[in-house]
Structure 1
Amino acid sequence: MIPPKPPSRPDRVSLWRYAKLFRQDILSAQPARLYRAWMAEFRTPFFRSYLVNQPDLVQTILKDRPGDFPKSDRVGEGLRPLLGNSVFLTNGPEWERQRRIIDPAFEGGRLKEIFPAIWDAAEAAVRRLDVHAGDAVEIEAQTSHAAADVIFRTLFSIPIEHEIASQVFDQFRAYQRTQPILNLAAFLPVPRWFPRFFRRETKKTAAQIRALITELTKARMAEIEAGRAPDDLASKIMTTEDPETGERFDTEEMVDQVAIFFLAGHETSASALAWTLYLMALYPDWQERVAEEAQALEHPDFAVMSRLKLSRDVFREALRLYPPVPMMVRQTTCPERFRDRSIPVASQMVLSPWHLHRHERLWDNPDGFDPGRWATENGKTCQRTAYMPFSAGARVCTGAGFAMVEGVLILSMLLKHFRFERVEWRVPEPVAHLTVRSRDGIWLRIARRAG
């Protein structure tokens, strides 16, 4: 049985047809040949766009010369109402300054310190799902709840039930389906001088989310000044000085960063967990093996993570098949020559984990679910050269290690207590909104495990 993926469009369609397909879903708007191509060119009257799958060229862009390929400004156009000037959108010296302040909060030792908070969120997820035992539920809603709970517990030391945390979560659910991670302008022929329009509801919801985050941030700043702030991620980031300038984030800057922490840490984790649970329902033999391994979960001791090897391989394979962020866009700052093609300045370089992770000329059984692949030579090679669910190089996601601990722990905790089964008449179809979600949700039947 092959996990579902979206249909591909014909190789040749009109620009108008492509724009229409793109607005519906960026994944199904792409042709099937991209799963075999090393590079593909898309020309418009205003700029050129190149999708790059060849591993050494991907390495050039992300690892060898990242300064020559900054994030495209076009990517931020759709998300700026929510994210402001966050580390996700900035480039150059400003991005470097932000990373110098943020990175220390996610160092290895900090993961061990916040592990009990992630454990508590996982146990809370078990309690919420227990109410639905015996029923068919839309699991994306449940994983969104769990991932948001993790963010608020680790960032601000409050559970999702906290009044403001609950409001942010509710508002974000309204936001997530109205704004794609890649704005239409990132790929289509919209000149830079053309005014950008946002749906009224999108702007309104983004403003409401930012107002709530501002309230939390100001309250924490007051606690820090009073010397009674908890030692969580928010406190660590807000008290960290840039080692080069001695500056800290002010309130507005911190709101920008919290917004991207919530987006990256909640939306992406929710997507990855939902698809992993669906794959477990699709492959019950693997599910039982993970459930057996999960019996090691007894106490909130970070050392237990070293015993969840199978769960890690399963989660890693789910990230390969359903990378939460399916595409990322960089921009050339000087003329380039890739694969004997001349690439002009200001061209869009599209890197697609979605296509790279399923590339037919790189992976063995690219569309199949096989957690055992990571022990094979092909799997080990591709993990180094063709696997980037968290991006790669200098701009690799700061929270990548955090996400792997969170995803593996919650997956193991849920499978220790429940068995997940498919709802036969509901096969999910992947589409790209803020992350890779299912068009009509992911429906699974939940059963309690004996004992």
Structure 2
Amino acid sequence: MTLPPKPKSRAERVPFWRYARLFRQDILSAQPERLYRAWMAEYKTPFFRSFMTNDPALIRLLLKERPRDFPKSDRVGEGLRPLLGNSVFLTNGETWERQRRIIDPAFEGGRLRETFPAMCDAAAAAAERLAAHTGREVEIEAEASHAAADIIFRTLFSLPIDHEIAARTFDAFRTYQRTQPILNLAAFLPLPRWMPRGFRRGTTSSAEEIRRLIREITDKRQQEIDAGEAPDDLATKIMTTPDPKTGACFDVDEMVDQVAIFFLAGHETSASALSWALYLMALYPEWQDRVAAEAQALVPRDFGSLSKLRVTRDVFRETLRLYPAVPMRVREATRGEVFRNRRVPKGAQLVISPWHLHRHNRLWENPDGFDPDRWQTDNGKTCARDAYIPFSAGARVCPGAGFALLEGVLMLAMLLKDLRVELTSHPAPVPVAHLTVRSRDGIWLRVVRR
């Protein structure tokens, strides 16, 4: 049986300079094959020690049992701060807790139902755009990015993607996404604050442009709120929610940081997942037919009809297992520890890799295969609980996890209801990690009518 694409692993031992170069090119292929079966692995650099943690019990300790002892590493922020500023994705401690108290209410279950009509409008628009390519080959990542950006702008600011500012933000973000890896040079070297961070050409300028456009939208929304004329969307909800402890809301500067991560999480990660889901449907047409058949039961704008999309949901879950949008997360030890008989010093980097955890040879049956039926098996149910973290877990689980699942299932069903995607003569896509897991040379599919 054909296996989904997986990047080749590097040689077992390489010098640090070679590893740093490979890491900068692509995080996934820079790792050795043994990580797919290891419970814990150590990597020493001249400047710090790093530990990969694939043991479910250890991951549970880091994320759920003692999250305060293992805050998010600042090394992640070194690469993303030009865009994300002091957003909830990068902060720790009291600052992070305050941000979550304000943000979380916007993504509660009832609010998802309220955003559903806007999602449906964006999905219908995406299906119409894709149908315009009938009979032709199309680069599906670009289409998925367009669709995901449309959803986040409609649900966050009540703006369709063809709105001038939305379109310009989307264009700037496409430039940023292809130039900025998850971790940059400063993740390896303890550089002083005044020293350049080694950003690639276009990264800083595109980040500045994105933030300028976000500020323009946010300033306008604050004026609408002050005048009592703001639409009841996610931005308004977040900007008018006071911290229950202090009574203070986000000011515009703080909201710009949060909108940046909402756009990253709500657009970039969703586009990654949808792109790979569509490719897998072309690779496994029998599953595509099952999704399309199920999609016939979807009633436009009827939130309840989503419950009937069980196959589509399992296909999307399997896509996130094989291609988690954020392939690695980094925590830092605030004190010395002993894990699996290894001494972990204070300041050590603890890498949690959904990419390796989701394909771990000792945990999953047929770990590299595409099998949406696995979620109904005993092994699949066990792994879903212990070894499946596409949105992280514990206190720092993504607040928009439910939003993302709803969006992905809806979009996949709407796109395949009347259309079929097929493989082309282009080579199979090679997964690489930019901001998220994307294809090195894009994903080309042919679109035909059912």
One-letter code aligned to 1:437: R
Give the Cα–Cα distance (whole angstroms) in 2 for the partners of residues 35 and 27 of structure 1: 12
* Contact kept in structure 2, 1:114 and 1:232, CA below 8 Å: yes
One-letter code aligned to 2:115: I
Instruction: Summarize deviations over 1:235-272 as a string: whole Å, max 9, x none.
Output: 00000000000011001100000000000110000000
The answer for the alignment partner of 1:180 in structure 2 is 181
One-letter code aligned to 2:122: A
5+ long unaligned stretches in structure 1: none
The answer for the alignment partner of 2:285 in structure 1 is 284
Instruction: Summarize deviations over 1:208-258 as a string: whole Å, max 9, x none.
Output: 110100000010000011111100000000000000000110011000000
* Contact kept in structure 1, 2:426 and 2:444, CA below 8 Å: no
Assess, with a 3 A threshold, how the Cα gap between structure 1 residues 200 and 252 changes in structure 2: closer, same or farther. farther
Given the alignment of the two structures, is residue 191 of structure 1 paired with residue 190 of structure 2, yes or no?
yes
TM-score by length of 1: 0.98
Moved over 3 A (4+): none
The answer for the alignment partner of 1:271 in structure 2 is 272
5+ long unaligned stretches in structure 2: none
CA positional deviation for 1:201? 2.1
Give the Cα–Cα distance (whole angstroms) in 2 for the partners of residues 403 and 287 of structure 1: 20
Within a 5 Å distance, the mapping from 1:273-352 to structure 2 comes to 273-352=274-353
Within a 5 Å distance, the mapping from 1:333-412 to structure 2 comes to 333-412=334-413
TM-score by length of 2: 0.98
Within a 5 Å distance, the mapping from 1:17-96 to structure 2 comes to 17-96=18-97
* Contact kept in structure 1, 2:298 and 2:306, CA below 8 Å: no
Q: SS of 1:216's equivalent?
A: helix
What is the alpha-carbon root mean square deviation over aligned residues? Answer: 0.9
Give the Cα–Cα distance (whole angstroms) in 2 for the partners of residues 140 and 214 of structure 1: 27
Q: SS of 1:79's equivalent?
A: helix
Instruction: Summarize deviations over 1:420-443 as a string: whole Å, max 9, x none.
Output: 101133210000000000000001
- Aligned residue pairs: how many? 447
Give the Cα–Cα distance (whole angstroms) in 2 for the partners of residues 23 and 129 of structure 1: 34
The answer for the alignment partner of 1:169 in structure 2 is 170
CA positional deviation for 1:191? 1.9
Give the Cα–Cα distance (whole angstroms) in 1 for the partners of residues 426 and 165 of structure 2: 38
One-letter code aligned to 2:63: L
Give the Cα–Cα distance (whole angstroms) in 1 for the partners of residues 258 and 335 of structure 2: 30
One-letter code aligned to 1:62: L
One-letter code aligned to 1:240: T
The answer for the alignment partner of 1:234 in structure 2 is 235
CA positional deviation for 1:20? 1.3
* Contact kept in structure 2, 1:125 and 1:146, CA below 8 Å: yes
Give the Cα–Cα distance (whole angstroms) in 2 for the partners of residues 182 and 412 of structure 1: 34
Give the Cα–Cα distance (whole angstroms) in 2 for the partners of residues 101 and 46 of structure 1: 37
Instruction: Summarize deviations over 1:72-120 as a string: whole Å, max 9, x none.
Output: 0010011101100000000000000000000000000000001000000
The answer for the alignment partner of 1:413 in structure 2 is 414
* Contact kept in structure 1, 2:273 and 2:323, CA below 8 Å: yes
Give the Cα–Cα distance (whole angstroms) in 2 for the partners of residues 355 and 62 of structure 1: 17
Give the Cα–Cα distance (whole angstroms) in 2 for the partners of residues 277 and 199 of structure 1: 30
Q: SS of 1:40's equivalent?
A: strand
CA positional deviation for 1:407? 0.2
Give the Cα–Cα distance (whole angstroms) in 2 for the partners of residues 299 and 26 of structure 1: 40
Q: SS of 2:296's equivalent?
A: helix
Give the Cα–Cα distance (whole angstroms) in 1 for the partners of residues 182 and 153 of structure 2: 22
Instruction: Summarize deviations over 1:279-324 as a string: whole Å, max 9, x none.
Output: 0000000100010000012320110111111100000000000000
One-letter code aligned to 2:416: L
The answer for the alignment partner of 2:260 in structure 1 is 259
* Contact kept in structure 2, 1:139 and 1:442, CA below 8 Å: yes
The answer for the alignment partner of 1:220 in structure 2 is 221
